Amino acid sequence: MASKHTIATRHAQGIRARFASRFLRSLLRLRRSGNRFGGSQSNDEGIGKRIRTDRIKIAAYAAMARAVGPRRTWSRALLFKLRNRARIHGVSRKRCLVSEKKRVTRNKVVAISSREPSRADTLRKLVPGGDSMDTCVLLEETAHYIKCLATQVTVMQSIADRLLL
Amino acid sequence: MINRALLPAGGGENMLHCTDMTVLERQRARIKWQQEQQQQQFQLQQQEISYFTELADVFHQAGFHEGGLSEVVTRSVKPDPGLVDNGWNNDHVVGYGVGLPYNNGLGFELNYGAISRTSSCPPEAVAAVAAATVKGSESVVSDKISSGAGRESSKKRKVDKIQNNSKVVAEEDTRDKRIKGCAEQGESKITEKNNNKNSRNNNTNKNNNSNKENSDETSKDNSKVSEVQKPDYIHVRARRGQATDSHSLAERVRREKISERMKYLQDLVPGCDKITGKAGMLDEIINYVQSLQRQVEFLSMKLAAANPRLDFNVDNLFAKEAFPACSINFPTIGMSSDMTNPAYLQFNPAQQQLLACCGLDMGIDPPDMALKRTTSAPVSIPETFLDSSCFTQTHPPPTWDADLQNLYNVAFDQGRQTSFQTQPFTGDVKLSCLFLSALY
């Protein structure tokens, strides 16, 4: 277990640098794209801000998932979800409706077999890709996910502090 | 009885050479011997073996010939009270006395027997010893299991006994590595002896007992789980006083894995030292993950708020600052690859301060740095926290370009400091080029 921990810490530091570089690059890209569309869109209060927030958040998660790579179940699931979201976003509304229908039926099925959500289920909802894992693997993925989330938060914090000071 | 059990240990290997003994008896002897061994006895045997080899040499030098040896053998034989009911010892003794196969082996065994006589054990010849041990262990086993003992036990009964014994073994917890190692050797020798049926029964029995026996030598004390080289299944040993059901074993393995992961998570999540129990821990973990995700959302909002201001700055500072900043950046990165370079410290007071604080304050977490943070919850991963706190202590340069460049440098500095990896200089230059080209 000690060796596992050292390997994990080494990974965390590697992940930190990788995530930082990717996130910064995507931030710059976002800024440039915001600039290209003119100042008005991005300077809008309200909706514009929310859009920007979401874009930055997605960029952060995407950067983290790519920095981790396909080694972990949760990163694979996260990348898959982001790609699907991008696809759905860019494609016509028809497909959106179709996917909505599918989601509705799935929810109904879930409602039938609903019981009080146990803690493990709550955790599954939080960790990306947690549905298809048994408890043992779920805990392992949660540990790695927590570590990556923590590095993500610190890097973003330092960037924000630097940019705003 | 213990000493009797001692006897064939040294002779175990020698018994292989004794062609008088039947395959069955040898196997039986081996099995019974394995099952009765304790570690101290084994060590004792080893000591005695070394002692006996010396004596064997002495005896050979004395020039015993076969006849003399046989006399010694017959003389040294004493009927053991425990063996009275079994008449075949004497037969074996006689038979053995007649045909002495190997001088060495017999001398060895003789010495063993002779000396064990002094250690209050009735001396017997090899076969007798083997038989005695077989018989003795059989009687022991029969006491335990109350099954009939006897040389006339058929193969089948022997198989039953083996099955029973394996169960007994499974329920006891005092088996250790060497015994198991010998068991492995013994079993492999058994298969060598072509008693395939027996060994097959043993193996199937083991399988039927749901991985109770360890076929992996490398593990154990009283540990429960061992990973086997074969990818088929994990061999588990039942602990003393615990159920040996296959289902409960598998459950226990699963529970052990989960508790191990929970302990790891306890180290990861801050403030979980006091909490015991899976439920509380899971609650804490869920809270922590939710708080981290909320923090990411909040920070992205903050960055989004920061963006328009920076975009505005870009228009002003783009043309002026970019090119000179570019030229400044390269030597910065070049110097940053060498931490102790004084030129680097002289170049930029901000970065000097950064270096100083990172170098000196590695183990310290000044509270004022925490106050500078705009976000509430500190993330308590020590090295990352320290590095980012070093971040905030520096005076930010006025220009946005210089800001981001410094940030980029420090981000890589952090990576380098914490991981103590020196990223290649060319790599840094390339990345900085990428970064700067993205600005235009």
Question: What is the number of residues in chain B?
Answer: 440
pTM, 2 dp: 0.43
Contact list, B254 vs chain A (CB under 8 Å)? 136
Task: Give pLDDT, residue B420.
Answer: 42
Tokens of B32: 């019974």
Strand, coil or helix: what is B348?
coil
In angstroms, the separation between the Cα of residue B62 and the nearest Cα of chain A is 59
Q: Is the dihedral of CA A23, A25, A28, A29 positive or negative?
A: negative
Question: Is-contact B426 B370, C-beta < 8 A?
Answer: no
Integer Cα distance of B94 and B254 in angstroms: 57
Question: Is-contact B35 B137, C-beta < 8 A?
Answer: yes
- Closest to A151 measured CA to CA, from B295, B60, B26: B295
Tokens of A82: 């982001």
Integer Cα distance of B29 and B132 in angstroms: 9
In angstroms, the separation between the Cα of residue A1 and the nearest Cα of chain B is 9
Contact list, B261 vs chain A (CB under 8 Å)? 136, 139-140, 143
Tokens of B423: 């990223």
In angstroms, the separation between the Cα of residue A165 and the nearest Cα of chain B is 7
Integer Cα distance of A52 and B52 in angstroms: 87
Out of A17, A31, A135, name the one closest to residue B258 (CB): A135
Q: Is the dihedral of CA A51, A53, A59, A62 positive or negative?
A: negative
Percent of chain A with pLDDT over 70: 70
- Closest to A67 measured CA to CA, from A27, A11, A28: A11
Tokens of B234: 């994990």
Cross-chain Cβ contact B300/A17 below 8 Å? no
The total of other beta-carbon atoms located within 10 Å of residue B79's CB is 15
What is the residue-wise DSSP string for A57-74? Answer: HHHHHHHHHHHH-TTSHH
Cross-chain Cβ contact A161/B307 below 8 Å? no
Which residues sit opposite B235 in a β-bridge?
A: B226
Task: Give pLDDT, residue B177.
Answer: 46
Provide the CB-side half-sphere exposure for B204 (13 A, CA).
Answer: 7
Cross-chain Cβ contact B411/A158 below 8 Å? yes
Question: Is-contact B238 B200, C-beta < 8 A?
Answer: no
Question: Is-contact A118 B281, C-beta < 8 A?
Answer: no
Contact list, A163 vs chain B (CB under 8 Å)? 303, 306, 310, 400, 403-404, 407
Domain ranges, residue A53: 2-164
Give the mutation candidate from A29, A43, A147, A156 for the B interface (greatest B CB count, under 10 A). A156
pLDDT higher at A46 or A19: A19
Question: Is-contact B308 A42, C-beta < 8 A?
Answer: yes
Integer Cα distance of A155 and A149 in angstroms: 10
All residues at 6 or more sequence positions from A66 whose CB lies less than 8 Å from its CB, including other chains: A22, A79
At CA B126, angle to CA B122 and CA B131, rounded to 5? 75
H helices of chain A, in order, are 2-36, 39-43, 47-68, 73-90, 93-112, 119-126, 135-164
Per-residue pLDDT of chain B (440 residues; tens, 9 = 90+): 554 444 444 444 444 454 555 666 666 667 777 777 766 665 666 665 555 555 545 545 544 444 444 444 444 444 444 444 444 444 444 444 444 444 444 444 444 444 444 444 444 444 444 444 445 444 444 444 444 444 444 444 444 444 444 444 444 444 444 444 444 454 444 444 444 444 444 444 444 444 444 444 444 444 444 444 556 676 777 777 777 888 899 999 999 999 899 889 888 888 888 888 888 888 889 999 999 999 999 988 888 877 665 544 433 333 333 344 444 444 444 444 444 444 444 444 444 444 444 444 444 444 444 444 444 444 444 444 444 444 444 444 444 445 555 555 554 555 444 444 444 444 444 444 444 444 44
At CA B404, angle to CA B403 and CA B405, rounded to 5? 95
At CA B435, angle to CA B414 and CA B439, rounded to 5? 135
Question: Is-contact B303 A27, C-beta < 8 A?
Answer: yes
Task: Give pLDDT, residue A128.
Answer: 86
Out of A25, A34, A120, name the one closest to residue B438 (CB): A25
Q: Which residue of A has its CA nearest to B380?
A: A150
- Structure confidence at residue A48 as a pLDDT band (50, 70, 90): confident
Out of B282, B375, B419, name the one closest to residue A10 (CB): B419
Tokens of B339: 């931490």
Task: Give pLDDT, residue B271.
Answer: 85
Integer Cα distance of A132 and A4 in angstroms: 24
Domain count, chain A: 1
Task: Give pLDDT, residue A32.
Answer: 80
Q: Which residue of B has its CA nearest to A139?
A: B261
Q: What stretch of H or E contains B410?
A: helix B400-419
In angstroms, the separation between the Cα of residue B31 and the nearest Cα of chain A is 38
CA A10 from centre of chain: 22
- Closest to B354 measured CA to CA, from B393, B316, B323, B325: B393
